[in-house]
Structure 1
Amino acid sequence: MRRFSSYGPVDKDLHYYAPRKKLVDFGHRQMIGEDPSRGGHYITVWGPRQTGKSWAMRDVLWRIQKDDRFDVLKINLEHLKMETDPAQVLSDLGEEILQGLGKDLIRADTGRKFQDIFAKGSLEKPLILILDEFDALAEDAISAIVGAFRNIYNVRQDQSNLPAGEKDYLLHSAALIGVRRVLGVENAKGSPFNVQRSLHIPNLTFEEVETMFRWHEKESGQRVDQEAIERLFYETNGQPGLTCWFGELLTEGWDGFELPENAPVDMALFKRAYLAAESYLPNNNILNIISKARQEPCQDVVLDLFRTDEKALFSYDDGDLNFLYLNGVIDIEKGGDGRSYAKFSCPFVQKRLFAHFARRIYKNMGGLYDPFEDLDDAINEDRLNVRNIMKRHRKYLVDNREWIFKNAPRRSDMRIYEAVFHFNLYTYLSGFIRRFGGELWPEFPTGNGKIDLVIQYAGKTYGIEVKSYTDRPGYADALKQAASYGKKLNLKEISLVFFTETISEEARKEMEADFRDPDTGVTVAPIFVGTRV
């Protein structure tokens, strides 16, 4: 019986997979060319980690191997990532190419000698070359290889009047697999690799994810509930590595949890697996994403993405955004205004990053309230009062402001990032609620900075929507949005926390008045938190 696999290329005989036929067909067409007699294309194959780049090109490789018109090689370059001497990289790669073709070995340690490997006379027929983990190489090595390919490409272009097999060089096509797409941007001399023809490996569609789980259901007999599939897709956005990781957890169990016999994949199992996945189960993909998000100056960009007052515009020309995009930290959202905006790649990634930074900044919160204080107006055995808990949070900020934000990350204007206040609020409320046996978790419904906090206590659900105060029109819109969210949670009342630098007592009295939305019937309780410290 097949199983889900989240690490390494998928084996079609052993693992569940999405065929991705259109993707493989496109890659094959780029390699052999629309008219093979005129040559193929030099392309890059790109996407974040664990998206199936190597798997897709392996399928292309196997298809081309059946075509007697070409020789084809696929070489993994990760073992050369520590080599800083470009001459040695050229030589080692040249040897692997010659060895793969059954040729006598030579030391191709210059661009000229490396190019000669692909010359007519050295090769009997056109060669299709696939280089995996290409961007693991040192920049100078990348430049040396791309420079050689550029010259070969230019010569072949000048000989467009000749059949592909009669040109001076027989490098029919080349594919460079990695996470960085636009090699021409990184190399000042330009690149022969056609960006428009490059092969982007996208996330799985919902239909592809559902098909894999229905395949498992049919093959194993384990029932898979539709709601669990939908929630998994929502949390992962179809990211292949994360999707299949959850597939492993839901169908095989995990360390410390043996899946009961005949246990269905339902929401109860999904929630249990999700809790383990976000708290203590290791995942290299997530660890890589966190490490990339922590790098300076990218960390500043990530913290800024947690803003709730406006979306962040995306541009390929922004090196930090591009880096985060190509490493799976963020994705691109097309706005109704035609612009492109940055958003977190999926809710699970956003939650993991939020929790990571919250723990990192607030390892120690100190005393959350006076231990001798009567808390009955805020929480008792039957219910809690969010407004009164927030009053204590405001007091906590005032009492501890000398140290609580002392080492907090700040913007270039020395103001504390809005995200820091979100982390503080989440950590404070989480600590407060859990001391009394409740649970709190964040939700990120848009992938941008919007954050909702959901509390479960004494068998009841409480919702808190978190916003930055902008102006009165924004305040009015926020009230309506919070009411809609409350209705979605089947709540009669929801709290709306506004962060603002300062607010007068007069304004607080006016704007913290409860608002009952006539359309939903939900009552919104606005609460303001001053952030000037």
Structure 2
Amino acid sequence: MRKFSSYGPVSKSLHYYVPREELIQRGCSQLLGESPEEEGGHYITVWAPRQCGKTWIMNETLHRLGKDERFHVLKLELEDLKTTEDTDEIVSYIAEDIIRYLNLKNVRVSTLKEFTRLFGNGVLDKPLILILDEFDALTEEAISGLAGVFRNIHNMRQKDPNPSAKKEYLLHSVALIGVRSVLGIENVKGSPFNVQRSLHIPNLTDEEVRSMFEWYERESGQKVEQAVPERLFYETRGQPGLVSWFGELLTEGYEDYRPDHSRSLTAKDFEEVFTDAVDVLPNNTVLNIISKAKQAPHREVVLELFKTREVMRFRFDAPRMNFLYMNGVIDRKRIPGSGSIIRFSCPFIQKRLFNYFSGEIFDYMGQIFEPFEDTSDTITEEGLNIRNLIRRYEKHLRKNRDWMLEDAPRRKDLSVFEAVFHFNLYEYLNRFLANTDAKVWPEFPTGNGVIDLIIRYAGETYGLELKSFTHERDYRKALRQAADYAYSLKLEVIHLVVFVEQIGDEHRRQYETDYIDEETGVRVVPVFVGTGK
């Protein structure tokens, strides 16, 4: 029986997969070109974040093109060269592979300047379609040098009036697989690698995610509740590596979870696995994303993205945004008539990043309780008083603010990032409720601009929507927004936790008035937290 596989290219005979026929056909068409016999094919980049299926799709493309006797078709893996710094050594390695695989005679290439001769008519006996995987593993100097060679060959072929197989150079087409921003060649003047010819590998659709689990149902005989692929798509937005990883966890299990194949795979099973995936399970894709997100100066963009004041516009030419976008940390969402805004690549990644930064910044929170402190006004066996819980947090923050925020990340104006207080509250709640059966977790309904903390305790679910105060109009909007979110969770009450640097008693009385939403009937309870000294 097949399995889900999240590491490396999938096997069509061993694993569940999505055919992605349209992408494969597009790759074949671009490499062949509109007029293969006359003009030749295109020089393209194939790009997507890690574990999105680039290699598998181009392997399928390779197998199809390899059946065409008019061409040599060759795909080389370059990841082994990521620690090689000398450009000529890199070129020599690539040239040796081409010579060996194509059984070329009487040619030797040891420097970048000699690389062009490898593709001459007479050295090659028919046009070559060349695919270079992990091209972004090379040094910038090597990337630039090789791109320059390909550009020169492309220009010479364009000027050559002969048919493709009779031209002076027989490099019919090239596909460079990697992260496009690292390739750094699409904006080079005169470059044949242009955005119109790039092949972007998108995430899976909800139908494609569902089709993998339907395939699993047919082969295994185990029913899968519809809620499982639906929730999986929501949390991962169809990121192929993550979809298959959750498929592995759900169907094969791991140390703390043993699947019961005698019954249906349920939403409860998914919740158990998902909780572990957020908190304790390692995954190479996630670890790679965290490693990129925590790097300066990109970390500042990530921290700003957690803010609730406003959304951030997406600009491809902004280097930090570009880096995070190409490495799967963030994504863009198009707003009709307004351009594109940034959001996290998927809710699961956003939760992992929230957990990472919360724990990294606030690994120690100080003393949560005084000895013999009476907490019965806040927590009993029957439930929680959220307003009093937030009051306790505010008191803790004011008392310990100086040392807790001493090393907290700050903006250029030395103000603390808005998200820092959200991380701080999250860690406080986890510690306050540590010795109970409570569970606290973040939710991000929109992917940006809205942060909610959900607490489940004593059979009750409590919603806390976090917001920073800017002005009256935004505050009123936040009340309605909180009501809508509570309604979607089937909650009758939700607390709106509003962070503000300073707030006096008069403004507390004015703004901490319960709001009843006319449309939903939800009661929103505002609680302000003063963050200043």
1:283-298 alignment, distance < 5 Å: 283-298=283-298
1:52 is matched with: 53
The C-alpha deviation readout for 1:163-187, integer Å capped at 9, x for no partner, is 1111110000000000125745587
Structure 2 SS opposite 1:387: helix
Question: Superposed, which structure 2 residues align to 1:31-70 within 5 Å?
Answer: 31-37=31-37, 38-70=39-71
1:332 aligns with 2:332: yes
The answer for the alignment partner of 1:451 in structure 2 is 451
Q: Is the 8 A contact 2:95 2:115 kept in 1?
A: yes
Letter in 2 for 1:156: R
Secondary structure of the structure 2 residue equivalent to 1:147? helix
Partners of 2:73 and 2:186 lie apart in 1 by: 27
1:525 aligns with 525
Alignment of 1:18-167 (within 5 A): 18-37=18-37, 38-104=39-105, 106-159=107-160, 161-167=161-167
* Matched AA of 1:116: R
1:447 partner amino acid: G
Pairwise CA distance, 1:261: 3.6
The separation in 2 between residues aligned to 1:173 and 1:181, in whole angstroms, is 21
Q: Distance in 1 between matches of 2:197 and 2:174?
A: 12
Q: Check the 8 A contact 2:368/2:396 in 1, yes or no.
A: yes
**Greater CA deviation, 175-184 or 110-119?**
175-184
Instruction: Give the 3-state SS of the residue equivalent to 1:50 in structure 2.
Output: coil
Corresponding position: 1:171 with 2:171: yes
Provide TM-score, normalisation by structure 1.
Answer: 0.97
Q: Structure 2: state its 5+ residue gaps.
A: none
Contact 2:186 2:193 in 1 (8 A): no
Q: Which residue of 2 aligns with 1:7?
A: 7
User: RMSD of the TM alignment (CA)?
Assistant: 1.4
Contact 1:46 1:180 survives alignment (8 Å)? yes
- Counterpart of 2:514? 514
Identity of aligned residues (%): 54
Partner of 1:491: 491
Contact 1:183 1:191 in 2 (8 A): no
How far off is 1:337 after superposition?
Answer: 3.6
SS across alignment from 1:36: coil
Matches within 5 A, 1:356-395: 356-395=356-395
TM-fit CA distance, 1:127: 0.2
1:321-365 C-alpha deviation (Å, 9 max, x unpaired): 111011000001112443111110000000000000000011111
Q: 1:24 to 1:186 in 2, by over 3 A?
A: closer
Q: Deviations over 1:360-412 (max 9, x none)?
A: 01111111232322211111110111100111111101110120101000000
| Preserved CA contact (<8 Å) 2:331 2:343 | yes
Structure 1 residue 263, shift from structure 2 partner: 3.6
User: Post-superposition shift, 1:518?
Assistant: 1.7
Deviation larger for 222-231 or 372-381 = 372-381
DSSP 3-state at the match of 1:286 = helix
| Equivalent pairs, count | 532
Instruction: State how far apart, in whole Å, the 2-side matches of 1:279 and 1:124 are.
Output: 56
Residues 1:185 and 1:42: Cα distance change in structure 2 (over 3 Å): closer
TM-fit CA distance, 1:432? 1.3
The CA deviation string for residues 413-455 of structure 1, in whole angstroms up to 9 with x for no partner, is: 1000001000001111121123332111110111113111111
Counterpart residue number, 1:271: 271
Q: Which shows bigger deviation, 401-410 or 107-116?
A: 107-116
Distance 1:6 1:246 in 2: 9
SS across alignment from 1:276: helix
Query: Cα offset for 1:236?
Result: 0.5
2:319 alignment counterpart: 319
Report the counterpart of residue 416 of structure 1 in structure 2: 416
After superposition, residues 210-225 of structure 1 pair within 5 angstroms as 210-225=210-225
Give the alignment's TM-score, normalised by structure 2. 0.97
- 2:401 corresponds in structure 1 to 401
Is residue 464 from structure 1 mapped to residue 454 from structure 2 by the alignment?
no
2:244 pairs with 1:244: yes
Q: Which amino acid aligns with 1:65?
A: G
| Distance in 1 (alpha carbons) for counterparts of 2:182 and 2:436 | 53
| CA distances 1:219-255 after superposition (whole Å, capped 9, x unpaired) | 1101100011100110000000000000001111112
CA shift in 2, pair 1:263/1:276, >3 Å: farther
Q: Is contact 2:307-2:449 (8 Å) kept?
A: yes
Is the Cα contact below 8 Å between 2:398 and 2:531 reproduced in 1? no
User: Aligned partners of 2:483, 2:276: CA distance in 1, in Å?
Assistant: 32
Per-residue deviation at 1:520? 1.2
CA contact (8 A) 2:394 2:529 kept: yes
Partner of 1:196: 196
3-state SS of 2:174 partner: strand
Preserved contact between residue 3 and residue 14 of structure 1 (Cα < 8 Å): yes
> Which stretch shifts more, 482-491 or 349-358?
482-491
Per-residue CA deviations over 1:71-124 (Å, capped at 9, x if unaligned) read 000000011111111111111111101111011374412333210000011111
- The one-letter amino acid of 1:191's match is S
Q: Which runs of 5+ in 1 are unaligned?
A: none
User: Secondary structure of the residue that 2:382 maps to in structure 1?
Assistant: coil
Q: Does 1:354 align with 2:354?
A: yes
Distance 2:48 2:16 in 1: 21
> Partner of 2:233 in structure 1?
233
Q: Which letter maps to 1:386?
A: I
